[in-house]
Structure 1
């Protein structure tokens, strides 16, 4: 996988980005939207992901890219009443019962003809026992419609660079926790599935302060005919809304 801010040349062949677990907080709210923040407090994050075919380097257009992550306090929508300062079983979908119907910090976009999707969100916080991360799932569709035939090609987690995360976690919205996040290096999933290859490129939007927010970007190489072992098509139906 390559990280770049430029259009991927057609001759480029990208590395296949490693898959990671979907985690317990996966759901399918069927929200096609660019701004997923829903007014959540936190440092702004503008996220651009480029989806490319790992075999050819060609942009993958029309892919449905879903992202989800916790808020500044470590809570996920749908599980807002779960205490993020206590470790839970994060190994599988459905391992933690939902507590509410909130939908903040979740949404999907169809990739454009350059394979790009863009999201406006906030810099994620963390929950006990994990480093800061953002979940991503890529579905290959027959068209820009949820009802068209589709399959899940790739599921992963994107990590945040330590330097940027330290400055963010000092901000008011992220303080007052009884636990500390794991560093990327001490997170089992970061260590075993991708390491720096799964870390976003992050840049401050403002020249002098992080308070104006960050721009994050990554190119994700997927096998478009592969079927993910992490989320099955029926999971999207079972865990809808």
Structure 2
């Protein structure tokens, strides 16, 4: 479904919306026109990262949010996000000069720039926390400072990413998933230790990656990040995304 049609018409159609509204809103879009399927495309020596939906809460004006610290007024466990972009059309070499937009929810599962609807009751339409844009360096790397994302009904912990080339042409919309084992940051943050940082939901009702309607077909774990660190010292996510530039 086209995002513009979803945002214009989809909210009105969700009048019965309290049944997992966010889950159904985040279903996969149809394959993109460049021929890369949502399960990734094998080309040469690397795999193009899967195309995923922007979801119902994409950044409205990303070019105005050029910054590396996207925390805003949000509180939570300190979190560093390191994303490397590579070009499968360049023998999987680092892609410098790419524009990388990211956004994710706060510790309570809410997004900025939206709210006051059945999809998100808390109204954050006038603020822009946990959203930002950076340009990849010569190593294809961007780094963001943030807080560890929370979760909401129907979705596992995740980060949204939209990558453009230097000219502003869209190359890929995708999402990043998190490890969820018993010793993972997701479990630690949402456990008893995380309550002092304001994470109060726990893991009851959490949707694991295998049941998540975006990540459930990621059998090769292409979208799965590496997360290291601790509650006291903060966590760091590292992930590589391959595009066809």
Interval of TM-score (by shorter of Structure 1 and Structure 2): 0.7 to 0.9
Distance 1:176 1:58, change over 3 A: closer
CA shift, 1:108, in A, is 0.4
Find the partner of 1:211 among 225, 232, 236. 232
CA shift, 1:169, in A, is 0.9
Q: Is the 8 A contact 2:87 2:244 kept in 1?
A: yes
Unpaired runs of 5+ in structure 1? 1-11, 90-95, 143-149, 225-241
Alignment of 1:54-203 (within 5 A): 54-55=88-89, 56-81=91-116, 88=119, 100-142=125-167, 150-162=168-180, 163-170=184-191, 171-172=194-195, 173-176=198-201, 180-193=205-218, 196-203=221-228
Structure 2 Cα separation of the partners of residues 102 and 179 of structure 1: 29
CA shift, 1:178, in A, is 10
TM-score (norm 2): 0.72
Q: Is the 8 A contact 1:141 1:151 kept in 2?
A: yes
Distance 1:126 1:195, change over 3 A: farther
User: Which residue matches 2:76?
Assistant: 42
Q: Is the 8 A contact 2:114 2:125 kept in 1?
A: yes
- Superposed CA deviations along residues 107-158 of structure 1, whole A, max 9, x for unmatched, are 000001111100001110011111110000000123xxxxxxx211001110
Structure 1 Cα separation of the partners of residues 125 and 202 of structure 2: 22
User: Which residue matches 2:6?
Assistant: none
User: Which residue matches 1:22?
Assistant: 54
Q: How many residues align?
A: 191
Structure 2 Cα separation of the partners of residues 106 and 194 of structure 1: 28
TM-score (norm 1): 0.73
Distance 1:196 1:165, change over 3 A: same
Structure 2 Cα separation of the partners of residues 25 and 185 of structure 1: 23
Distance 1:210 1:19, change over 3 A: same
CA shift, 1:195, in A, is 5.7
Structure 2 Cα separation of the partners of residues 160 and 181 of structure 1: 13
Superposed CA RMSD: 2.3
